[in-house]
Structure 1
Amino acid sequence: MSKKRLFSFLLLPLLLLTACGITEELEQAKNNVADLKSALTEQSDNYQQLSAYIEEIPEAFQLDREEDPDMGLFADETGEVFDNLQVRQELHSTMINTQKKIKNIKKELDRIVKKNGADVNNSQLTIISRSLEIVTSNFDSLSVYVETSVSQEQQFYDDLPMKEENMDDELSIIQRTYGAMDIVSEEAQANIDYTLSLIKTFEKDAAQSKERGK
């Protein structure tokens, strides 16, 4: 056997192993990005639901006042306002878990980028990862406002009944917190949409890369 044929014979298994490794990295990237798309879509829906619950608070407050002018329903852990607060806290817990998924997927994407697979568009994955940092920052800000609003609401209802002028001032403070939550929520959804557009581009290029590899 000539040296040239021997070299080719020894090189072939190495090339096959390398190709399999690269394909595996591409598949890992595609799977993680698909999971990320699902998690981000779920989180966007959660933001929308939270905003919807906040919009229902004034009506819930009015209904409770009509039933009990002293607003004793909240202290008894009943009424529309109490139920609204409960579902918002439950939703926030769900959002925390979803955000943990997003953070874990980001770590996996960063790990894949470090491998520098030849058929993986690592620059696109890096941009997606950096976009997720903004999404995470948005959620961290929202969580601060959620905790603040819960504290404000509980203090407000504990202090009832109070004079009407004091009630208006206290409600104004709480409503400002709601407004801040809405602003962060809108920004978060916009950043999620942008990240989803990056994912769409990556998936399109990844599909073409796989076709070229056949």
Structure 2
Amino acid sequence: METIHLQHTLPQVFANRDAIVSDVWHRDLVFERGKRYLIEAASGTGKSSLCSYLYGYRNDYEGIICFDGQNIRSLKEADWTRLHRHSLSILFQELRLFGELTALENVQLKNRLTRFKSRKEIDALFDALGIGDKKDQTAGLLSFGQQQRVAFIRCLCQPMNFLLLDEPVSHLDEANAATMSALLHEEAGRQGAGVIVTSIGKHLPTDYNCVLKL
């Protein structure tokens, strides 16, 4: 997948608003593979909705979203399964970890489907993000910042054309945010992936090709 094209897309809940001032909603906007985008937003302007639309998790929007020219409303369940395994990865704002499983088990759940990372590579990611000693800890007992790092590792465990990161560093200090940025730069660069990051304030520190106001 090379492009994501939004054509006058708007959450249905915003349909009755008189004026929408946005670089994203109700615009003709193309996200290109290999580029990095920051979407800055105030709370309640639809940033998590946008990520859910692009990932196919929700479809309560007006307008059109296309992947390489194909309207995603025409995609079947098998198409989304293929995209989620090979083209689209996401770090949800609410993380969606299984709290009763360990940090490592949460990552392995995905990696067993994709067989993308070796155990040595996964261990190196845990160590780099300062949670090497938390792999066998139940995820539900970790701090939110630690859980964010686990969810980030999980989202790297697959091939991807685009990576969606919804407020990925909201609970991280500068050092861990910088480490996450370096790991993201390495993985996205290796795969030639496009990166779309949302933020309501604190954002992932990296060089962006485009900054958009939601």
Q: Given the two structures, how large is their TM-score scaled by the length of structure 1?
A: 0.27
Higher relative helix content: 1
Larger radius of gyration: 1
Higher relative strand content: 2
